[in-house]
Amino acid sequence: MTMAVTKLRVEDKLYHNRYLVDPGRPHIKVRPHEKPSPNLLALTRVCPAKCYELNDAGQVEITPDGCMECGTCRILCEASGEIEWNYPRGGFGVLFKFG
Amino acid sequence: MIEEEFDAIVIGAGMSGNAAAYTMASQGLKVLQLERGEYPGSKNVQGAIMYANMLEKIIPDFRDDAPLERHLVEQRLWVMDDTSHTGIHHRSDHFNEAKPNRYTIIRAQFDKWFSRKVREAGATVLCETTVTELVRDGRDRVIGVRTDRTGGIIGADVVVLAEGVCGLLGTRAGLRSMPKPETVALAVKEMHFLPEEVIEQRFGLNGDEGCVIEAVGTISRGMAGLGFLYTNKESISLGVGCLVSDFAAAMESPYALLDAFKNHPSIRPLIAGSEVKEYAAHLIPEGGYKAIPQLFGDGWVLVGDAAQLNNAVHREGSNLAMTSGRIAAEAIVQLKRRSHPMTKRNLSLYKIMLDNSFVVKDLRKYKDMPALLHTNSCNFFTTYPQLLSKAAQNFLRVDGTPKIDKEKATTAAFVKARSRWGLVSDAVRLACAWR
């Protein structure tokens, strides 16, 4: 219940933002894994756009459409190889109106 | 093959990149600036306070047409617990001067203006262009870049890396290591719109006067962090930020912190009735002096947030960014004038000039502060704020208890929470880190 309410709240926030999504080219990927490391698991809570979620099998999945490109996940999980992080192609991704 | 050759390529159109591109272009260098956003500013996030002095050194008459929100006349520093704030406020009519010292700005608008100045100075600015690779020759010298726009190499004598706190290129090329979770903060903020006169009434402002609030305390839930509220002309920028390492260890959600801050009884009435128009997130370099990486090499220099140039104590970042961009550009212009090659040895001039500026002097002054505030952060961000709030309550509430007993109770609360040794040690460590 709490999860659902939180999820709704983040989506309400992201709704105000402008994005140009690059279809079929996610700029962040999660490497297939059996069990997430503590840092990867933390992303399900720490990602400010709530892009990371736990699936039924207990693995972390990403939907980067609402990503604000802050880089928090890169700082926490790129070095270990758990995620692959790139910039979106030029012009794509979040477009801050105010910033 | 090299498609086109420039004196300098600047990667990124934030504060440091714009300062560097403007300075070099206005001195006659052939400059290309590459920005991955649709327009300059579209990827940039800041509170934001802009310090006039550092921009005057680049564009002296910026006040004529720069999009400025309010000039600051009042600063409030709050220590909060869950139901209260205890504050130090400074407001002065001296800040109402012909050329005010600090302004609030809205970055997407400001960056578009700054970029227009860069183009007017003669630089070529290409947006919607992500640099994918730094190109090096057989001797490891950076000689240009590749982008996602064309396959070819764009060549340059020197590449200015103004790629921001999370810059990919320099870290992937091994020019610096990735920032550690304890040297960056994650900040989230919202833009709350309100009519101009409502903002002026709520904060007691006349005309373009502005007020900022910065707050520490239980709002960061024991993590090293800060809440802020900045008045713009017809909006309020409001946010919270905490260290990424603390967020990960505590498994806290930044949006939950933001919502709790907004609902704090001291903040809620200030934003009541506002319309939110944007939610943004960004990293802030927090590692200070000890986290500054190598700033120059054969064919490249590093400026701004990418170089961790941020004064966390004074919450100054964009002015350090602008200044480092300007100084790097001035060093490059000097070398160019003398026809000196852009070697590591020659580009060390940038570091020498930066070391002599307030940028490195200020960061060196506070070099021990990150270590102090980032370890046992709950004492500084929770225990002391709670104690302070209780002490203030105890001091102000009149209930027939003799004052001497009240004072004893307050002292006892401090000793109980931190012990005598703990209090002395915290004070000494804070004083040492401040010096």
Q: How many CB atoms neighbour CB B137 within 10 A?
A: 11
Residue A75's domain is classified under what CATH number? Answer: 3.30.70.20
Contacts of B2 (CB under 8 A, 6+ apart): B143, B144, B152, B153, B154, B155
Q: What is the mean pLDDT of chain B?
A: 96
| pLDDT tens digits along B100-112 | 999 999 999 999 9
- Across the interface, whether the CB atoms of A48 and B254 are under 8 A apart is answered yes
Q: Is residue A33 part of a domain?
A: yes
Report how many domains make up chain A: 1
The pLDDT score that the predictor gives to residue A5 is 55
Q: Is residue A28 part of a domain?
A: yes
* Residues of chain A neighbouring B178 (CB-CB closer than 8 A): 74-75, 78-79
Angstrom CA distances, A69 to A65, B136, B168, B188, stand at 10, 27, 12, 12
SS3 category, B82: coil
Give the one of B36, B247, B255 whose C-beta lies nearest to A9's C-beta.
B255
What are the structural domain ranges in chain B?
2-69+105-177+293-365, 182-285, 370-434
Positive or negative: CA dihedral B39, B42, B45, B50: positive
Q: Is the pTM of this model over 0.80?
A: yes
Q: pLDDT category, B154, cuts 50, 70, 90? A: very high
| pLDDT tens digits along A16-65 | 999 999 999 999 999 999 999 999 999 999 999 999 999 999 999 999 99
Contacts of A2 (CB under 8 A, 6+ apart): none
Q: Is residue A83 part of a domain?
A: yes
Q: Tokens 């947030």 label which residue?
A: B305
Structural class in CATH, domain B2-69+105-177+293-365: alpha beta
E-strand spans in A8-80?
Answer: 19-20, 28-30, 52-54, 60-62
Q: Is residue A14 part of a domain?
A: yes
Distance from CA of A35 to the nearest CA of B (A): 17
- Across the interface, whether the CB atoms of A90 and B46 are under 8 A apart is answered no
Token couple for A64: 């980067």
Which residue in chain A is spatially nearest to B147 when comparing CA positions?
A: A90
Positive or negative: CA dihedral B409, B414, B417, B421: negative
Strand partners, B53: none
Give the one of A45, A72, A87 whose C-beta lies nearest to B168's C-beta.
A87
Distance from CA of B414 to the nearest CA of A (A): 33
* Residues of chain B neighbouring A41 (CB-CB closer than 8 A): 251
**Peptide bond connecting B48 to the previous residue in cis, omega within 30 degrees of 0:** yes
Find the Cα–Cα–Cα–Cα dihedral B367, B372, B374, B377, rounded to 10°: -150
SS3 category, B268: helix
Which backbone phi and psi does B391 adopt, to 5 degrees?
-60, -40
- Across the interface, whether the CB atoms of B168 and A85 are under 8 A apart is answered yes
Under a CB-based contact definition with an 8 Å cutoff, are residues B278 and B133 in contact? no
Domain of residue A71 covers: 2-94
Structural class in CATH, domain B182-285: alpha beta
Give the one of A16, A41, A95 whose C-beta lies nearest to B42's C-beta.
A95
Angstrom CA distances, B157 to B142, B237, B310, stand at 8, 40, 28
Give the one of B106, B190, B276 whose C-beta lies nearest to A99's C-beta.
B106
Under a CB-based contact definition with an 8 Å cutoff, are residues B247 and B281 in contact? no
| pLDDT tens digits along B176-232 | 999 999 999 999 999 999 999 999 999 999 999 999 999 999 999 999 999 999 999
Q: Is residue A24 part of a domain?
A: yes
Distance, CA of B372 to CA of B384 (rounded, Å): 15
* Residues of chain B neighbouring A74 (CB-CB closer than 8 A): 166, 178
Q: Is residue A99 part of a domain?
A: no
Token couple for B97: 């001067």
Which residue in chain A is spatially nearest to B105 when comparing CA positions?
A: A98
